[in-house]
Amino acid sequence: MESAIKNSLLPKDVFRHDAAARADVAIVMGSPDPEHLRQRIAAGVALFKAGMVPKLIVCGDGRDKDPQQKSEAERMKEIAVKAGVPETSIITEDTGHDPIESAKECGRLLKSDASFQSVKTAFLVSSAWHLLRMFIVMKRYVPNRVTLYCHAATAGVTASNWQTTPQNRAIVENELRLIEKLLKTGFSLR
């Protein structure tokens, strides 16, 4: 691991989860990995079913290799509808080909779409290991009026199991490198 990473962030810092009772919307990040995608939308659906959010924004394109396939956002919407979330409570954002593009589009939606003008709080939903980076990116693009709360999918690589396998450790170490890259390009932890 690079010395700059060792000096600025520790692997435990990757994991972020904020306590919040409710939010105006949940922003659920997609993934090209089907298992990560399923875990993330399951967490978003759980928030909806618990009455913690009235709407889900599902994000991600993921059609780079096959433009004919459904986007990550479309696949998550299907899963959510099958789980009982009404279609009218799900907004798809499937133009983002990477996390930064998805964050920009979510920010645009929250700024310019009349139905989102009253949004003051949002759960940011993703894999536990992915949340700090998504928080850093999303914070730059969502309107200042919106407070973001990180809500981690409970399955997958988590703060309690990231050290248990070489694969889990590699995911966290890669995430640290990606966060450091963001910080070097002007993004901020604050």
Contact between residue 160 and residue 172 where contact means Cβ atoms under 8 Å apart: no
Q: List the pLDDT tens digit at each of the 190 positions of the chain.
A: 334 444 566 777 889 888 888 999 999 999 989 999 999 999 999 999 999 999 999 999 876 666 678 899 999 999 999 999 999 999 999 888 888 999 999 999 999 988 898 999 999 999 999 999 999 999 999 999 999 999 999 888 988 899 999 999 999 999 999 999 999 999 988 7
> For the chain, which domains are there?
12-184 (3.40.50.620)
Distance CA 26, CA 90 (A): 10
Q: What are phi and psi of 95, to 5 degrees?
A: -100, -15
Which runs of consecutive H residues, i.e. helices, occur in 57-130?
A: 72-82, 99-112
Report pTM. Answer: 0.90
